[in-house]
Amino acid sequence: MKKKLLELSTCACLLGTLIAGPGTASAQETVPASSIQTEPVYGESSNVSIAASALKPFPQHVSYTSGTIKPNHFTQDQMDQQVKKKYDEWKSRYLVKHPKISNQYYVFYNREKIVDDPKNVVSCSEGHGYGMLITAYMAGHDASAQTYFDGLYRFYKAHPSSADAALMAWQQAKDSSGNIVDSSGSYSATDGDLDIAYSLLLADKQWGSSGEVNYKSEAVKMINAILKRDVHAKQFHLKLGDWASDSDSKYGPGTRPSDFMLHQLKAFKDATGNADWDKVSDTTYKIINSVYKKHSPKTGLLPDFVVRKSDGTYAPAPDKYLEEPTDDEYSWNSCRTPWRIATDYLISGDTRALEQLRQMNGWIQSATGGKPAKIGSGYDLKGNVKKADHAIAFTAPFAVSAMIDSSNQQWLNKLWSDIVDSPTSDSYYFDNSIRLLSMIVVSGNWWTPGE
């Protein structure tokens, strides 16, 4: 059982990325980009819901916190078109209809065959959360967005965590009969839970909750389950998943900085009225600043995993804590932190992580000489390059963090051009998904349920 639990982590969705190149795997079931302005494609299913009009159609052009910036070397319309293009490519590559249940969809995270153990995996909750966020935000551009969102929702409901049916089992595979079944255990991963719950809040504002799915009610159920299962009941830090019990001396104290979705935690408080979410937010800011000030004061980088020590402080986890020798470094999990943490400042104006973001922005510009192509795909917390390969999953989030200050204008422009110009076909599911989500933020289209 412990061996299975060790596998239950977000980065397990992409471990093969580190060693494999983009594949040419067949994606016959993926949704063609040309279907974007067509009727829903659920076939003969009797469970198809009638799509509602998008109340917040893309683009939205949100006003972020005063003093923040966007790229200024393209017009707003040009940036919107660039986001649409990347969405169309992402959709045609990764959004897949269930082979046997025509009103379910999933995000095909193993399209490029990056995961080979087991080789038949197709979906993970991380990617599912990304897909639900993306389809909620791109409604209006995509006339079938609600059809896809509801299909993703049904797939999530069909694969519940064994610990709590409101959460999602972390990975699915296709068996020899073509059925999609849970793989490597049926517990949850925290980031997938957080994104799915937040996407349901977005869906409530995008389409309303009077249709087939009561998005708001389902969101609240999931948010309550997250607080019960994915949050430490005493310390209020986000845990690694619902499999990590508070009493587990090794994994109970663990947390993953790439799960630090601070503006989403605030939205959960607003949706439920539960003040415990304030405690989760406060603890999360505390962890960011504690680790940054003591372990990465010159870089602002956060490690893939953090643990709470016996004295109550938080520190980088030891290497091989859960996944890799890089668990104590800035690697394939924590590369998302500039996007996750900076988005909170853009949306809420909360300055509690601003010092860390500024330090990180200054360091990465200096370390690369202001050249995005020199951003590596792995660093230790002192800033030493551990892997020099260029990856969009590392570049795109820095564009979000660059938005916090006008002094980063030229750097932001270069980053935007880099992530726009890099072909979708050159990257993997993980890179392409993070790029698209980051572009939605940077283009000024990341609205919130409270707006």
CA distances from 28 to 23, 52, 94, 178, 225 (A): 14, 28, 10, 14, 36
Neighbouring C-beta atoms of residue 258, cutoff 10 Å: 25
Please name which of 232, 371, 368 lies closest in space to residue 308, comparing C-alpha atoms.
232
Structure tokens, 327: 């668990």
- What's the longest Cα–Cα distance across the chain? 60
Compute the CA torsion angle 106, 260, 436, 111 (nearest 10 deg).
-40
Helix/strand/coil for 30: strand
Question: What's the CA gap between 54 and 142, in Å, rounded?
Answer: 10
Q: What interhelical angle do 409-421 and 76-94 show, nearest 10?
A: 40
Q: For 95-189, where are the alpha helices, taking DSSP H only? A: 125-137, 145-158
Question: What's the CA gap between 219 and 196, in Å, rounded?
Answer: 8
CB 422 within 8 A of CB 38: no
Considering just the CA atoms, what is the radius of gyration of the chain in Å?
Answer: 20
CB 370 within 8 A of CB 414: yes
The residue whose two tokens read 């079944």 is 181
Name, in order, each residue with C-beta under 8 angstroms of 347's C-beta and a sequence gap of 6 or more: 64, 65, 263, 446, 448
What does the angle CA 24 – CA 30 – CA 32 come to, to the nearest 5 degrees? 105
Structure tokens, 277: 């979410």
Please name which of 275, 261, 288 lies closest in space to residue 347, comparing C-alpha atoms.
261
Structure tokens, 169: 């089992």
Please name which of 302, 287, 380, 307 lies closest in space to residue 337, comparing C-alpha atoms.
302
Q: Which listed residue (88, 150, 191, 418) is catalytic?
A: 191
Question: What's the CA gap between 285 and 257, in Å, rounded?
Answer: 10
Name, in order, each residue with C-beta under 8 angstroms of 70's C-beta and a sequence gap of 6 or more: 79, 403, 412, 442, 443, 444
Burial 167-188 (b: 16+ CB within 10 A, else e): bbbbbbbbeeeeebebbbbbbb
| Known catalytic membership, residue 191 | yes
Point out the residues that are catalytic. Answer: 191
